[in-house]
Amino acid sequence: MTATWIAMLPHLAHQAAFGALAAAGFGVLFNFGWRTLAWCAVAGALALAVRTVVQQTGGSLEAATFAAAFVTSFTAILALRWLGPACNAVALAGCIPMVPGAFFGQAMLGYMAVAADTTGSSTAQIVAASQAFVRVLSIVGAIGAGLAIPAYLLKSRQF
Amino acid sequence: MTMIQPDPADLEPIHPYSLARISHVALQAGAVLAQSGASVRVVHEGARMVAEGLGVEVLGMRSGYASFEITLARGHHSFTRMIQIGPHGVNHRLDFAVRELLKRASRGDMTPDAIEAELKRLQSDTPRHPPWLVAIATGAACAAFGRLLGSDWLSFGPVLAAASIGQGVRHLLLGRRFNVFVVAAIVGCISAALGGLGARLIGSSTTELAMMASILLLVPGVPSTNAQTDVMDGYPTMGSARAVTVIMIMVFAVTGLWLAEFVLRIHT
């Protein structure tokens, strides 16, 4: 068991590091202040670490995404003392690297290819594109629910 | 756009501010919050804080994607006014600076003029990261996305450069008030083409992933989660409008990607 966890560490560190970079990068785009940007990076690392661990232990991508968003939101609200009302925004920035833009692209490109197909043999492509689209909906839903549930349960203040 | 109605409360000298004046300030505060990426609940709470701080009761508010409406009451008089909401964006520092202002306004020791002046000052003076830094940071985020999606190290540099250029182009075009969906298609095409071409020239084996990662700067992450929050908070109209906007932006971004694939002769 310990060996499995040790073997997982490089991949976990990789995912957390790039999750942090993606969250901080988008934090700059969203005009977060420098201090909050550091928290965004921490939130991104936490979200991707949790998602990776859940996936590595057999969870689906959707379940892992929900767990990651939930833990990130919960932790950010617990860190209210340091983050202030910005805790919800920091949690959201941390979850941005999990937004399934690539799946949406795959789905749309798949549908475009199906539309252009004249041979009538595009059943597999329709299924793949539809599957990608369903994954977009379920992952976005998982992020939204994971972020919102702790905020409602803990009555996180907005001002 | 505002609808001006006669305000009977103006005739009551005991009140220093008219309902029209208060509604205008409350709507302005709400509009700035909405344009900065706040959820409808925050927008309504902010406007309510201003109005109640100035001593009036809020009878109701309604937020659409492009307009915001408020009805105020004082005694037997009520007043309804609407304001237009400009382009939706995300500006965290402005959002939270306005929230701080509204907290002060809710204590009742600020005049409408002072609140309005402070709102204007915040809009012009709240610091923004310089465009070159935003471009590089966005490029780095997309390159990180590429790694998370499984693209190889060789494509990291091309994706970073392509997405940075794409963000620069987006900044220029949006600054010239081009349509946001058209901009998504143009930036999607430019970023994907540059990312794919760069990755191919450098010998990457994940050219398609590099193209996909290069357009991820266009994914509207905040509006997509705000859409759900708005629906959960009981504002399905605004939530639906945000969701449709997210889908439209992604459709146009992928159209740009598809064009780039056509130009580079890459078949998925």
pLDDT tens digit sequence for B166-190: 999 999 999 999 999 999 999 999 9
So what's the pLDDT on residue A156?
Answer: 80
Q: Note which residues in 63-82 of chain A have CB less than 8 A from chain B.
A: none
Q: Could you report the per-residue pLDDT of B188-225, keeping only the tens digit for each?
A: 999 999 999 999 999 999 999 999 999 999 999 899 99
| CA A107 to chain CA centroid, nearest Å | 18
Contact (CB<8Å) A102/B49: no
Cβ of B128 and A31 within 8 Å? yes
* CB distance B87 to B33 below 8 Å: no
Residue A18 banded pLDDT, cuts 50, 70, 90: very high
Q: Nearest-CA distance from B14 to chain A in Å?
A: 31
Cβ pair A20, A42 in contact under 8 A: yes
pLDDT of residue A62: 97
Do the chains contact at B129 and A31, CB–CB below 8 Å? yes
Cβ-nearest to A25 among B137, B225, B254? B137
Q: pLDDT: is A156 or B249 the higher one? A: B249
- Which spans in B17-91 are helix H? 19-35, 40-53
Rounded to 5 degrees, φ, ψ at A79 are -90, 20
- Interface with A, mutate which of B225, B245, B257, B262 (most A CBs under 10 A): B225
Report how far residue B236's alpha carbon sits from residue B143's, in angstroms, rounded to the nearest whole number.
35
With CB atoms and an 8 Å threshold, state whether B141 touches A158.
Answer: no
Whether the per-residue pLDDT at B4 is higher than 90: the answer is: no
B209-268 residues touching A, CB cutoff 8 A: 209, 212-213, 215-219, 221-222, 224-225, 227-229, 232, 250-251, 253-254, 257-258, 261, 268
Q: How do residues B211-221 score in pLDDT, each as one tens digit?
A: 999 999 999 98
CA distance A70 to A145: 8
pLDDT band for position B17 (cuts 50, 70, 90): confident
Number of H helices, E strands in chain B: 10, 3
Alpha carbon distance B111, A17 (integer Å)? 48
Neighbours of B175 (CB within 10 A): 9
Domain residue ranges in chain A = 2-98+143-153
pTM of the predicted structure, to 2 decimals = 0.90
B35 has a chain A CB within 8 A of its CB: no
Give me the interface pTM, i.e. the ipTM.
Answer: 0.93
Shortest alpha-carbon distance between residue A57 and chain B (Å): 18
Tokens of B263: 């130009």
Tokens for A82, please give them: 């340091």
- Cβ(B214)–Cβ(B192) below 8 Å: yes
Give the pLDDT confidence of A103-128 residue by residue, as tens digits.
999 999 999 889 888 887 888 999 99
Is residue B70 a contact partner of residue B27, using CB atoms and an 8 Å limit? yes
The pLDDT assigned to B6 comes to 62
CA distance B76 to chain A (A): 31
pLDDT digits (tens, 9 = 90+) for B72-109: 999 889 999 999 999 999 999 999 999 999 999 999 98
pLDDT band at B5 (very low <50, low <70, confident <90, very high): low
- Residues of chain A contacting B90 with CB distance shorter than 8 Å: 29-31
Q: What is the pLDDT of residue A41?
A: 97
